[in-house]
């Protein structure tokens, strides 16, 4: 990690006084260190290196864009996630109430709404319109997957006189936003492009948690109780629950710790075998448990066990995400098959709560998080930042260059406190992958 990877792009010098009143300002030099260990930090100084650190987010005393001349646009892209409407509400509110920005557009159906060929009309967002939207799941703007031509999008921004574009979306959305920001730079335009990172899987690097993740974990918890009831309610009952997590098992790991009825927690980061290694393999281990306890709860992330499929071809969705084979249905079948072969009765009840977990509103601290991310995004835009994502690190809100944030996916570290605790509470100690 180098300090320069953390440097955020700016459209120009911020010289206008901020109209924001009654709030504290963040100075431009304030940072949030990437690392937290005192000794490692001291090393940088002793080595005459700059400490790698994020720029701190927040309202600035001087701003770049003149609010009176500003026209903002907000879009949501990718799959649903709890909190989208809360983010839209607070973006709108901060723009209109705090900065007195006269025009805030809501772009329908993601980037698609910026392509005139799609014949979709933007809506003008007002305080009245967003008043109660935090009570609804989903996104009032609609969303879509897939890319539109970057040049056409920038043409549209120019034609609409938009000088701030807020893109709420995941990895794919952020990459598009980066391309748009580069094109804007190439054309020497003064348009800020700010991402509010949305990934219910919580798999963005350099961002300790993404909005919606906590609500998704909250929603997933009761399914474990249900699976446990179904498992105990039948002889040799197995409650099998699949949760989201394409490449990272955060939802699965958090759900397991939040509702410790889980006996098996299978995540993409740790491969496992079905048979062939005795009770190191899943199915013989499960049969041993059923013989002893007559019930089990298995929690599996959608991206786990992909190595068990003989897939010659790789499929991707419109956002470029790898399409997974359905590990849930597959495991249900394999458990039934194996138990039948072993002459063991088994009763598998399968839960696939996927969409139900992500299409609700954000609640509690997660909704607070949405509000603060949104406010931070507006402050960043007004201060002239661009090509930047609002992040959170070590208890502070941060500016993360989009290129840094999308450089790799965050995964569960197998020697982390998180995974150690999951291993401690579940009965199946998966083998760590050989590196």
Active-site amino acid positions: 201
Closest C-alpha among 350, 283, 274 to residue 305 = 274
What is the footprint of its own copies within residues 64-83 (CB under 8 A)?
Answer: 80
User: 323 or 356: whose CB is closer to its own copies?
Assistant: 356
Q: How far is the CB of 48 from its own copies (least distance, A)?
A: 11
The DSSP call for residue 201 is: T
User: 103 or 363: whose CB is closer to its own copies?
Assistant: 363
Q: From 155-163, 169-177, 303-311, 420-428, give the range in contact with its own copies by CB under 8 A.
A: 420-428
Q: Among residues 310, 312, 417, 434, which is the contact residue for its own copies, using CB under 8 A?
A: 417
User: 80 or 193: whose CB is closer to its own copies?
Assistant: 80
User: 299 or 371: whose CB is closer to its own copies?
Assistant: 371
Is residue 38 at the binding interface for its own copies, with CB under 8 A as the rule? Answer: yes
State the helix-helix crossing angle for 282-293 and 327-342, rounded to 10 degrees. 60
User: 144 or 156: whose CB is closer to its own copies?
Assistant: 144
Is residue 211 at the binding interface for its own copies, with CB under 8 A as the rule? Answer: no
Q: How far is the CB of 420 from its own copies (least distance, A)?
A: 4
Q: How far is the CB of 142 from its own copies (least distance, A)?
A: 6
β-pairing, 192-197 with 71-76? unpaired
β-pairing, 264-266 with 62-63? unpaired
What is the footprint of its own copies within residues 361-390 (CB under 8 A)?
Answer: 363-368, 371-372, 375-376
Q: How far is the CB of 21 from its own copies (least distance, A)?
A: 8
Is residue 48 at the binding interface for its own copies, with CB under 8 A as the rule? Answer: no
User: 181 or 404: whose CB is closer to its own copies?
Assistant: 404
Is residue 433 at the binding interface for its own copies, with CB under 8 A as the rule? Answer: no
Q: How far is the CB of 188 from its own copies (least distance, A)?
A: 32
Concatenating the DSSP letter of every residue in 301-354 gives ETTTTGGGS--SS-EE-TTSPEEPP-HHHHHHHHHHHHHHHHT---EEEEE--H
User: 178 or 324: whose CB is closer to its own copies?
Assistant: 324
User: What pairs with residue 348 in β-bridges?
Assistant: 238
Q: Among residues 137, 160, 185, 411, which is the contact residue for its own copies, using CB under 8 A?
A: 137
What is the footprint of its own copies within residues 147-206 (CB under 8 A)?
Answer: none
Is residue 23 at the binding interface for its own copies, with CB under 8 A as the rule? Answer: yes
Using CA atoms, how far apart are residues 241 and 299, in angstroms rounded to an integer?
A: 5
Q: From 136-144, 184-192, 334-342, 403-411, give the range in contact with its own copies by CB under 8 A.
A: 136-144
What is the footprint of its own copies within residues 287-306 (CB under 8 A)?
Answer: none
Closest C-alpha among 25, 427, 389 to residue 204 = 389
Q: Among residues 8, 11, 59, 165, which is the contact residue for its own copies, using CB under 8 A?
A: 59
CA distances from 294 to 103, 116, 297, 345, 400 (A): 62, 60, 11, 10, 49
Using CA atoms, how far apart are residues 378 and 391, in angstroms rounded to an integer?
A: 13
Q: From 61-69, 138-146, 189-197, 307-315, give the range in contact with its own copies by CB under 8 A.
A: 138-146
Q: Using CA atoms in the order 152, 155, 159, 162, what is the torsion angle rounded to 10 degrees?
A: 100
What is the footprint of its own copies within residues 227-266 (CB under 8 A)?
Answer: 227-230, 232-235, 254, 257-261
The 323-352 site mask, x for binding its own copies (CB under 8 A), equals --------------------------xxxx
Q: How far is the CB of 162 from its own copies (least distance, A)?
A: 22
What is the footprint of its own copies within residues 84-103 (CB under 8 A)?
Answer: 89-90, 93-94, 97-98
Half-sphere CA count of 49, side-chain side, radius 13 A: 13
Q: How far is the CB of 119 from its own copies (least distance, A)?
A: 12
State the helix-helix crossing angle for 250-258 and 417-425, rounded to 10 degrees. 50
Is residue 126 at the binding interface for its own copies, with CB under 8 A as the rule? Answer: no
Place of tokens 């359905």: 326
Q: How far is the CB of 189 from its own copies (least distance, A)?
A: 28
CB burial of residue 433 (10 Å; 0-12, 13-18, 19+): exposed
Closest C-alpha among 91, 83, 131, 96 to residue 107 = 91
Q: How many residues does the chain have?
A: 435
Using CA atoms, how far apart are residues 242 and 80, in angstroms rounded to an integer?
A: 18
User: 4 or 188: whose CB is closer to its own copies?
Assistant: 4
State the helix-helix crossing angle for 84-93 and 364-382, rounded to 10 degrees. 40
Using CA atoms, how far apart are residues 201 and 217, in angstroms rounded to an integer?
A: 10
């Amino acid at each position: 990690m180098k300090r320069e990877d953390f440097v955020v792009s700016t459209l120009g010098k911020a010289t206008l006084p901020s109209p924001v009143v009654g709030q504290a300002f963040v100075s431009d030099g304030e940072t949030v260190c990437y690392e937290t260990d005192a000794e490692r930090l001291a090393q940088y100084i002793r080595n005459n290196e700059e400490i790698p650190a994020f720029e701190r987010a927040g309202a600035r005393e001087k701003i770049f864009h003149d609010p009176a001349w500003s026209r903002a646009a907000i879009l949501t892209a990718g799959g649903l996630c709890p909190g989208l409407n809360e983010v839209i509400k607070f973006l709108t509110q901060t723009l209109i109430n705090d900065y007195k920005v006269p025009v805030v557009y809501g772009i329908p159906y993601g980037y698609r709404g910026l392509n005139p060929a799609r014949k979709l009309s933007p809506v003008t967002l007002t305080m009245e319109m967003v008043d109660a939207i935090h009570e609804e799941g989903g996104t009032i703007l609609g969303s879509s997957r897939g890319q539109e031509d970057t040049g056409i999008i920038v043409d549209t921004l120019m034609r609409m006189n938009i000088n701030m574009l807020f893109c709420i979306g995941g990895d794919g959305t952020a990459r598009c936003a980066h391309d748009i920001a580069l094109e804007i730079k190439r054309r020497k335009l003064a348009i800020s492009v700010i991402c509010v990172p949305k990934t219910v899987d919580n798999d963005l690097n350099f961002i300790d948690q993404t909005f919606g993740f906590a609500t998704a974990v909250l929603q997933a918890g009761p399914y474990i109780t249900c699976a446990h009831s179904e498992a105990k309610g039948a002889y040799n009952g197995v409650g099998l629950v699949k949760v989201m997590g394409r490449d990272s098992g955060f939802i699965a790991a958090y759900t397991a710790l939040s509702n410790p009825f889980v006996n098996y927690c299978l995540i993409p980061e740790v491969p496992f075998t079905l048979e062939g290694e005795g009770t190191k393999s899943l199915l013989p281990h499960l049969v041993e448990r059923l013989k002893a306890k007559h019930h089990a709860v298995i929690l599996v992330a959608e991206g786990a066990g992909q190595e068990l499929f003989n897939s010659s071809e790789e499929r991707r969705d419109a956002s470029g995400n790898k399409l997974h084979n359905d590990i849930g249905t597959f495991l249900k079948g394999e458990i039934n098959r194996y138990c039948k072969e072993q002459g063991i009765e088994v009763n598998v009840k399968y839960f696939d709560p996927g969409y139900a977990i992500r299409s609700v509103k954000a609640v509690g601290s997660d909704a607070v998080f949405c509000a603060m991310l949104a406010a931070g995004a507006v402050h960043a835009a007004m201060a002239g930042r661009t090509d930047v994502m609002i992040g959170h690190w070590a208890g502070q809100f941060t500016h993360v260059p989009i290129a840094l944030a999308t450089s790799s996916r965050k995964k569960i570290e197998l020697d982390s406190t998180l995974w150690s605790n999951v291993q401690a509470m579940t009965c199946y100690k998966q083998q760590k992958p050989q590196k």
